[in-house]
Chain A
Amino acid sequence: TQLLEQSPQFLSIQEGENLTVYCNSSSVFSSLQWYRQEPGEGPVLLVTVVTGGEVKKLKRLTFQFGDARKDSSLHITAAQPGDTGLYLCAGKTGANNLFFGTGTRLTVIP
C-alpha cells in the first residue's frame, strides 16, 4: 500500500488568509493529482503534476511537486468561502494504480 499522508487534516481560516496543505509519502510517484470534493459529491480533478519540481498555478491555487516526486503542496492565496471543501492528493505509480491521501478538510470563514 502506498501511504500518502496529508496535513493538516482539518484547517479553519478566515477569508483572505493564505494557507498551505501538504501531501507526503515515502514512495515515488510518476504523477500526482489534487482533487477537491464538496459534500455529497465526487472528487473533481484540479491539477496533475508530472515532473519533479513542477509548479502549476490555477488562479489563486499554486501546486508544487517535490523534486524527488514523493511529496506535493497546495498553496491557496487569499482564501475565499468558495474554497471550502475536502482537498485530496492522489499519487500514481502504474497504469491504473492511483493512491489517495486521507484528505484535508478546509473551512474558510467569511
Chain B
Amino acid sequence: DAGITQSPRYKITETGRQVTLMCHQTWSHSYMFWYRQDLGHGLRLIYYSAAADITDKGEVPDGYVVSRSKTENFPLTLESATRSQTSVYFCASRAPGLRTKFFGPGTRLTVL
C-alpha cells in the first residue's frame, strides 16, 4: 500500500526487553522522523534522519536507537525497555524543501 505504515500497531512488553518498532514509507521521502506522544507533553521528537545512513538526535533520544540502511525504512529500537517508554509512537516523513510532514498511524507501546 502507498503511504507511510507502522508495525506493530499495538505492543505489550516487559521491562528490560528489546523492542523494535518499524516504519515504512513508499514515497522515497529523504526525511524521516520518530515522535512519541504522551498526555501533557504533546509530540516530542526522538530521532530523525535526513537520508539513508544519516541520523540525528531529537529532543528525547535517551534509551532509543535508530538506523536507516534503506531510504524507505526507519526502525526504532528500545534496547532495554522501561515503563517510562510506555507511549504512542509516531513515524513521519517529508520530502526535502517541503513543509508537509506525513504521519503514520502510530504504535501504542505498553511496557509492564
Contacts and interface: CB of A to CB of B under 8 A. Distances in A.
Whether both chains belong to one complex is answered with yes
Interface of A: 1, 4, 31, 33, 40-45, 48, 88, 90, 92, 96-103
Given A42-B90, A96-B31, A103 B42 contact: yes
B34 to A, nearest CB: 12
B109 to A, nearest CB: 14
Contacts of B42: 4, 88, 100-103
Contacts of A97: 45
A43 to B, nearest CB: 5
A102 B101 contact: no
Say which size band chain B's interface belongs to: 20 to 34
Contact of A100 (B44, B99, B105): B44
B53 interface: no
Closest 8 CB pairs of A and B: A42-B103, A100-B43, A100-B42, A102-B42, A48-B99, A42-B90, A43-B103, A42-B104
Contact of B99 (A33, A88, A102): A33
A31 B50 CA distance: 20
B92 A42 contact: yes
A100 B35 CA distance: 10
B39 to A, nearest CB: 8
Contacts of A102: 40-42
Interface string B17-45: 00000000000000101010000111111
